[in-house]
Amino acid sequence: MDFAFSPRSQEMRQKLQGFMDAHILPRIRQHHEETHAGQFPVSFMEDLKKLAREEGLWNMFLPSLKEDEPGTPLSNLDYAPLAEIMGRVPWSAEVFNCNAPDTGNMELLHMFATPEQREQWLEPLLNGEIRSAFAMTEPDVASSDATNITTSMRREGDEYVINGRKWFITNATHPNCKVFIVMGKTDPDADTHKQQSMIIVPRDTPGVEIVRNPTVLNHHAPEGHAEILFTNVRVPASNLLGEEGSGFALAQARLGPGRIHHCMRSIGAAELALELMVDRSQERKTFGKHLSQQGVIREWIAKSRIEIEQARLLTLKAAWMIDNVGAKAARKEISMIKVVAPALHTRVTDRAMQLFGAMGLTPDTPLADHYTWGRALRFADGPDEVHLQSIAKMELRESNRGASETYLTPPKR
């Protein structure tokens, strides 16, 4: 087993870190000030995107990029340390066209779109000219079970007519968001997993209404986690993605690599929180000692390091499996890391907030933002409990009960 990153990954990592040092880190304050003043996207975003693309730091998340498509394809394993670097400054992923939910949508379109759909939607997304959203969750039903969704997609001649209400739709209020991939039911009478379909809905279609953009833990996200009402929204039947009735299968396909990209970024966020914790503990003194000399603080630091390394190894294993045996065979590892990484993200950030004292809760540190996003990730792409259920199901199915026969020694009767 070789724990070193490949030369390709190391080269890209250096390049990305150089870009972060030169262009992203010096703009953190400006980004904060502009977004809080209501300027979104921030004034420098398009310039930085152009520069990142010129430097080959573009679409690195998509291993299956074709030769005529823009970007630098990397394996999931090679991409992991890069996503970690981006995770330290959450808005930076957009600079490299590597931000969710666009990445998941691009993966989906890459796998299932027709040539016309690719030209209309995938190409501008790969070029970073537009943004997109993925609309599955509904306020009126428990959406962690995707078979519950009720949005109706009725075929009428050459069109589909869509009616329903969605919420928590990330990116929907981004000014450049031009398209939604919507999941709904085309045939409520079909088998449970064949009732759903996905349809591409241009943002400006009549009947699409953004109702509100709820805050998340009282944090306002300008790109939105929006509530959207679809009232008699008519789109051409050719906007169907994949086949009718394939929506559930497409949703499963979409969430493989996308899920672990979140996890990679979470590890980067936890790493940053630990670094801030270590710095601060060596500066602040209480009761005549630096915080770094207090046993309880040392324990937080040590535990954080152990937990980050554990999560990183599991994430890398999941990435390696996606690369080598495919997302389907890596389902258990993907679910495991989806439970581990967001919890790590909030736990280490929480320790850092505590160590910083009251300042840890203010916008003077990035900790409150990181905590909020880590907490949200325990829901996004499926809540912890659904993943735990899947892991347990697979574990129970795979067990052959050989251990009981071999290792138990009850008295003979």
DSSP state of 20: I
**Is 25 or 249 the residue whose CB approaches ligand FAD more closely?**
249
231-234 long-range Cβ contacts below 8 angstroms, 24+ apart: 231/163, 231/207, 232/161, 232/162, 232/163, 232/207, 233/161, 233/162, 233/163, 233/201, 233/205, 233/206, 233/207, 233/208, 234/156, 234/159, 234/160, 234/161, 234/162, 234/205, 234/206, 234/207
Q: Which stretch binds ligand FAD (CB under 6 A): 4-12, 138-146, 350-358, 362-370?
A: 138-146
CA distances from 313 to 63, 272, 320, 341 (A): 21, 17, 10, 11
CA distances from 251 to 108, 134, 136, 257 (A): 9, 10, 9, 12
CB of 388 to ligand FAD, least distance (A): 7
Among 169, 250, 318, 330, binds ligand FAD (CB under 6 A): 169
Among 142, 190, 237, 296, binds ligand FAD (CB under 6 A): 142
Q: Which stretch binds ligand FAD (CB under 6 A): 3-11, 38-46, 168-176, 313-321?
A: 168-176
Based on the shown chain and the rule CB under 6 A, indicate whether residue 376 belongs to the binding site for ligand FAD.
Answer: yes
Q: Which stretch binds ligand FAD (CB under 6 A): 141-149, 156-164, 302-310, 316-324?
A: 141-149
SS3 call for 240 = strand
Among 103, 170, 196, 197, binds ligand FAD (CB under 6 A): 170
CB of 143 to ligand FAD, least distance (A): 4
x-or-dash string of contact with ligand FAD, 107-136, rule CB under 6 A: ---------------------------xxx
Counting every residue written for the chain, the total comes to 413
| DSSP codes joined into one string, 371-409 | HHHHHHTTTTTS-HHHHHHHHHHHHHHH---HHHHHH--
Asked whether 6 and 74 are in contact (CB, 8 A), the reply is no
Among 86, 380, 387, 391, binds ligand FAD (CB under 6 A): 380
Nearest to 92 by CA among 193, 6, 17: 17
Based on the shown chain and the rule CB under 6 A, indicate whether residue 79 belongs to the binding site for ligand FAD.
Answer: no
CA distances from 365 to 84, 279, 312, 400 (A): 19, 13, 24, 50
- Sign, Cα dihedral of 394, 397, 398, 402: positive
For the chain, give the longest Cα–Cα distance: 80
Total binding residues toward ligand FAD, as defined by CB under 6 A: 21
Among 99, 137, 266, 315, binds ligand FAD (CB under 6 A): 137
Asked whether 366 and 272 are in contact (CB, 8 A), the reply is yes
**Is 77 or 380 the residue whose CB approaches ligand FAD more closely?**
380
CB of 376 to ligand FAD, least distance (A): 4
Among 47, 140, 275, 385, binds ligand FAD (CB under 6 A): 385
Among 143, 173, 281, 304, binds ligand FAD (CB under 6 A): 143
Asked whether 237 and 162 are in contact (CB, 8 A), the reply is no
Based on the shown chain and the rule CB under 6 A, indicate whether residue 386 belongs to the binding site for ligand FAD.
Answer: yes
**Is 81 or 382 the residue whose CB approaches ligand FAD more closely?**
382
x-or-dash string of contact with ligand FAD, 205-224, rule CB under 6 A: -----------x--------
For residues 59 and 99, what is the distance between their CA atoms, to the nearest angstrom?
A: 9
Among 165, 203, 225, 280, binds ligand FAD (CB under 6 A): 225
**Is 169 or 199 the residue whose CB approaches ligand FAD more closely?**
169
Based on the shown chain and the rule CB under 6 A, indicate whether residue 382 belongs to the binding site for ligand FAD.
Answer: yes
Asked whether 243 and 112 are in contact (CB, 8 A), the reply is no
Using CB under 6 A as the binding rule, the residues of this chain from 16 to 55 that contact ligand FAD are none
- How many Å separate Cα 325 from the centre of its chain? 21
**Is 278 or 394 the residue whose CB approaches ligand FAD more closely?**
394
Residues that bind ligand FAD (CB under 6 A): 101, 134-137, 142-144, 168-170, 216, 225, 376, 379-380, 382-383, 385-386, 389
